[in-house]
Amino acid sequence: MTDQMTQDRWDARYRDKGLPGAPATVLLENIHLLPRHGVALDLACGLGANTLLLAERGFETHAWDISPVAIEKLRAIAVESKLPIIAAVKDVMHAPIPPAQFDVIVVSHYLERALTQPLIHALKVGGLLFYQTFTRTTVSEEGPEKPEWRLADGELLSMFAPLRPIVYREEGRAGDVAQGFRNKALLVAVKEMPRRGDCLQAGQD
């Protein structure tokens, strides 16, 4: 699928949608882990449910999405609510994410494995990643059809192994599948100061 086809697909989806839905579970259930202030990024923000929550908490919040339709709707909400939101149309696969810029990064229902290292580098030391998306192990038809757009068992934890996990949840098909957090995995992880040995090793590579 070309970049233009991707943009058109998401534009069509957001054109008929009104207000943003609920913020992601990973953010709602772990909101107490957020720092008191800082700069946040909501990547692949859509209509901005996560963006609005972060901005309401006082974060200078950057909201990026490939869909101009979604971004224009979010900008209108930001102006009306007078929230500190900087919404921009960005295809992050072709627009590098600046390093060490964000205290908080949120990614919800978006999976692009090539962005793993750029996301890690984009966090400041002490910064938090809140990530949630669909898994291949499911109990219903929720989520994307293509398996490559879904996480393998345990993959989210291993993808961001350079970060220290604080919260990880992936329930799969265990127990009563009519309850709980199913079809998805979530992670909250922190970027810590590299140890001296790690820095030396990186310099030798």
pLDDT score for 199: 52
pLDDT over 90 for what percent of the chain? 80
pLDDT score for 3: 75
Q: Which of 1-5, 68-72, 109-113, 190-194 bottoms out in mean pLDDT, i.e. has the lowest?
A: 1-5
pTM of the model: 0.90
The 10s digit of each residue's pLDDT in 102-140 is: 999 999 999 999 999 999 999 999 999 999 999 999 999
Contacts of 35-39 with C-beta under 8 Å, sequence gap 24+, read 35/103, 35/104, 35/126, 35/128, 37/103, 38/102, 38/103, 38/104, 38/127, 39/101, 39/102, 39/103, 39/104
Distance, CA of 94 to CA of 96 (rounded, Å): 6
pLDDT score for 189: 98
Domain ranges of the chain: 35-165
Element (H, E) at 169: strand 164-169
Evaluate the CA torsion angle 87, 91, 95, 101 in order and state its sign.
positive
pLDDT score for 10: 61
Element (H, E) at 102: strand 102-108
The 10s digit of each residue's pLDDT in 155-184 is: 999 999 999 999 999 999 999 999 999 999
Contact 159, 114 (CB under 8 A): no
Identify the architecture of domain 35-165 in CATH: 3-Layer(aba) Sandwich (3.40)
